Structures are given as structure tokens and as C-alpha cells.
Amino acid sequence: MIIKAGDRMPAGTFSHMTAEGIRKISTEALFKGKTVVLVSVPGAFTPTCDARHLPGYVDQADALKAKGVDTIAMMAVNDVFVMNAWGKQAKVADKILMLADGNGEYVKSLGLEMNATAHGMGMRGQRFALVVKDGVATHVNVEAAGDFKVSAAEYILGQL
């Protein structure tokens, strides 16, 4: 089943890199009592993701936070080391929480997985952006194949 606005976010766990090394973060810790923009990209360093998607959120982070967003989280079906390297390369600093959904379990629980085996990428997450308030999805923006519109930082900013 595909997540929709009004649905509670499913339970799950992500990995992320900290100064102390790899740490796990539960969806409960990520979402409880907060407004979170959770963004998914098909892959770190892929063309649109690297050139437009992540940079847009880095550029708009202060504006999103001024509208009440506590956390901006970028996730991909990549390992924690790739997500960490991508965050460093993009100079996200503390603006974006880079989350690894290494085995694609969380995107599958959302019903938003994507078969990219034809491109040599295996199972991935679709491109999407969710606004989550205290564990409930209030906006679910899933891109059509090949599009980059409704998951862009500017579009999300207009929804807040």
C-alpha cells in the first residue's frame, strides 16, 4: 500500500554517520514531536539528485526551517558511507540529515520502491518528498517517472 496524506509513518530504522561513527535512528526518534521533510532520491550522486535535488534543499534549508521544519532528511537506497560522502561533497553540514536506507526496507514499507534493474541500480526508492508532522504524513509528493517538480525544495516550501 502506498502512503498517503493522513497516514501514520511506518516504523523503521535508518543509518547515518555521526562524529562518533555509524548510528541508527528510528523513525520514532526522527518524527516524534517534529515537523520533518523526508526526501527520497533514486541514488546519491545520480545526475538530477546531485545537480538539483540535494542542492535545492541545501539552498532552501533556512527558509524551510523558518516555516517550522525541524529536520530536513535526505534518504536513498545507498549505504551509509555513500550518503556520508555525498553530504560532505554537497556541503550539507548540519542543514540536512543524510539517511541510508541501505536495503530499501523503508521505501518498501512506504510502497514507494522502484525497480531500476534495467539501469544496473537494483531496487531503489522513487523520487519523493513527504512533510511529516509528529509521525503523520501531511503532504505526499511523488514524482512521475523522469520528473523533478513536486519533490523540489521550492515546491515543498510553497506547501508550508
Catalytic sites, residue numbers: 49
Q: How many Cβ atoms are within 10 Å of 92's Cβ, its own excluded?
A: 20
CA distance 112 to 18: 27
CA distance 69 to 61: 9
Locate 86 and state its grid cell: 555525498
Tell whether the torsion through CA atoms of 44, 25, 1 and 139 is positive or negative.
negative
The three-class DSSP label of residue 13 is strand
Residues facing residue 132 across a β-bridge = 36, 137
What is the total residue count of the chain?
160
